[in-house]
Amino acid sequence: MPRTARAIVGGYCYHVLNRANKKARVFHEAEDYWQFCALIARAQARLNLPILAACLMPNHVHLVVRPVESGDLARWMHWAFTTHVRWYHAKYETTGRVWQGRFKAFIAQEDHHLLTLMRYVERNALRANLVEHAEDWEWGSLAWRRAANPPIALTASPVHLPSYWRFLVNEPQTSVELEAIRACVNRQRPFGASEWVARQVEDLGLESSITPVGRPSRSRRVPIC
């Protein structure tokens, strides 16, 4: 099956997900998380990628970013994750692939959809029952928002976060919200209102992200002559 086409352009907000190869655990202890945070800080010094939200999980990483220029995200991700692979192999004396073949990314509309997406990212550890409160997860941006010296500097969201943001993140999301976001992750489909999604699909050439998966129905198949 061909890969989903994607066009990552500057000035838009994106959700980015990178999973460990075969869903294996890649962060084994606290040092691994802090080393990755330090690596992100180094990546930012090389090529600043505005980070709105983030969460490092045992076998995957979530980011919500707003690249300045087209191509920034791909360059940033390539350097950060290949550098991490070298560090990981040196520490654990391993070889082979650490992360999956390529990261997944989809564009998000800058309204309540972006806030829904940021909530999804920042409550990831809570949803996985790793902590009792989302802000207790040390390797996520909800905790960093309250820190005097956060390990990763965050860029202000283009959509204002309400004063009760921490409480909102701790509230469960609806099944409709979760299903919509997960569909966007899997298909790298734009996340937003239907009219906005249609415009992005056309403007960015993302038609493959909204076409049905699988073989077409019998009535739509081209007859074989």
Q: Is residue 87 part of a domain?
A: yes
* Long-range CB contacts (within 8 A, 24+) of 24-28: 24/59, 25/58, 25/59, 26/58, 26/59, 26/88, 26/98, 26/99, 27/56, 27/57, 27/58, 27/59, 27/139, 28/92
Which residues have a Cβ under 8 Å from the Cβ of 123 and sit 6 or more positions away? 134, 142, 169, 170, 173
Q: Is residue 36 part of a domain?
A: yes
- CATH number assigned to the domain comprising residue 45: 3.30.70.1290
Q: Is residue 130 part of a domain?
A: yes
Q: How many domains does the chain have?
A: 1
Q: Is residue 220 part of a domain?
A: no
The phi, psi pair for 51, rounded to 5°, reads: -105, 120
Q: Is residue 217 part of a domain?
A: no
pLDDT tens column, 20-61: 999 999 999 999 999 999 999 999 999 999 999 999 999 999
Q: Is residue 3 part of a domain?
A: no
Q: Is residue 6 part of a domain?
A: no
pLDDT at 6: 60
Q: Is residue 173 part of a domain?
A: yes
**Which residue range forms the structural domain that includes residue 175?**
13-210
- Measure Cα distances from 114 to 43, 75, 96, 118 in Å: 24, 23, 36, 6
pLDDT at 217: 47
Q: What is the pTM of this model?
A: 0.90
pLDDT tens column, 74-97: 999 999 999 999 999 999 999 999
